[in-house]
Homo-oligomer: A and B are copies of this chain.
């Protein structure tokens, strides 16, 4: 069975930043949206799992970008399941532009949990999930296990209504947002985020005061802690320059 399916999206005005390029958040959101659509299509979506009081939990993500798509560009996301063990499944992604040139790649790790007891469920109990696994290769390294960074700076964020997803926890994409919002705007303007690794460690709820600790712009690694100082998420970015220059060249070639 060929399960490497395609999902098409358009970069809308609300997806872009002040440089009219897709934000890392919107790119991650479209990738996770494709995962949701593909799981739905194969009978393993959140709604299917919810019937059995279960759900998917994203545990790690690696996202590499070759360039950031611009406003009104269409992107094609292909996705497939590449691995499954008892505790974890891996889903890969490729993102192409209209010319078929690669824009981004991603690898995600997911666990299945019981919603009442919040404990891991055995993925081998999902009937015929194993037949989803495809032997395609993805061109990037697997998501890395991140260590606590030596934090030099810190800011705070209280989890708000607008951060919550349908599970009543902060949406996965918000963690990327909080990290980027902590960085100087000049840095965001000058650099492209070539690789992002994220470890999701704990869920966060409405009203929790989070501490966003990070190691300065040279070492672009973050740890987000809850009010008990327990880490809830770690992020590490590898950046390249010069995004502004690259953008200008892209615009001139369009």
Residues of A within 8 A of B (CB): 12-14, 16-18, 20, 23, 25, 29, 33, 36, 71, 160-162, 164-168, 171, 173, 177, 180-181, 183, 185, 188, 206-207
- Whether the Cβ atoms of B33 and A12 lie closer than 8 Å is yes
- With known contacts A14-B29, A14-B33, A181–B162 Cβ distance under 8 A: yes
A25 vs B166: C-alpha distance in the bound complex, in angstroms? 15
A207 vs B164: C-alpha distance in the bound complex, in angstroms? 24
Could you say which residues of chain B place their CB within 8 Å of the CB of A17? 161-162, 164, 166
Could you say which residues of chain B place their CB within 8 Å of the CB of A12? 33
Q: Smallest distance from the beta carbon of A238 to chain B beta carbons, Å? A: 19
Copies in the complex: 2
- Whether the Cβ atoms of B71 and A166 lie closer than 8 Å is yes
11 A-B residue pairs with CB within 8 Å:
A14-B29, A14-B33, A17-B162, A17-B164, A18-B161, A18-B165, A18-B167, A18-B168, A23-B162, A161-B188, A162-B181
- With known contacts A161-B188, A188-B161, A33–B13 Cβ distance under 8 A: yes
Could you say which residues of chain B place their CB within 8 Å of the CB of A20? 166
- Whether the Cβ atoms of A171 and B14 lie closer than 8 Å is yes
A230 vs B191: C-alpha distance in the bound complex, in angstroms? 34
Q: Smallest distance from the beta carbon of A133 to chain B beta carbons, Å? A: 25
Q: Smallest distance from the beta carbon of A192 to chain B beta carbons, Å? A: 14
- Whether the Cβ atoms of A206 and B185 lie closer than 8 Å is yes
- Whether the Cβ atoms of A181 and B166 lie closer than 8 Å is no
Could you say which residues of chain B place their CB within 8 Å of the CB of A181? 160-162
A213 vs B91: C-alpha distance in the bound complex, in angstroms? 45
- Whether the Cβ atoms of A207 and B180 lie closer than 8 Å is no
Could you say which residues of chain B place their CB within 8 Å of the CB of A29? 14
A215 vs B167: C-alpha distance in the bound complex, in angstroms? 30
- Whether the Cβ atoms of A165 and B36 lie closer than 8 Å is no
- With known contacts A160-B181, A181-B160, A207-B185, A165–B13 Cβ distance under 8 A: yes
Known: A14-B173, A161-B181. 9 other contacts (CB 8 A): A13-B165, A13-B166, A14-B171, A16-B166, A18-B166, A18-B206, A160-B181, A161-B180, A161-B183
Could you say which residues of chain B place their CB within 8 Å of the CB of A168? 18
Q: Smallest distance from the beta carbon of A89 to chain B beta carbons, Å? A: 19
The one of B13, B71, B162, B188 in contact with A180, judged by C-beta atoms closer than 8 angstroms, is B162
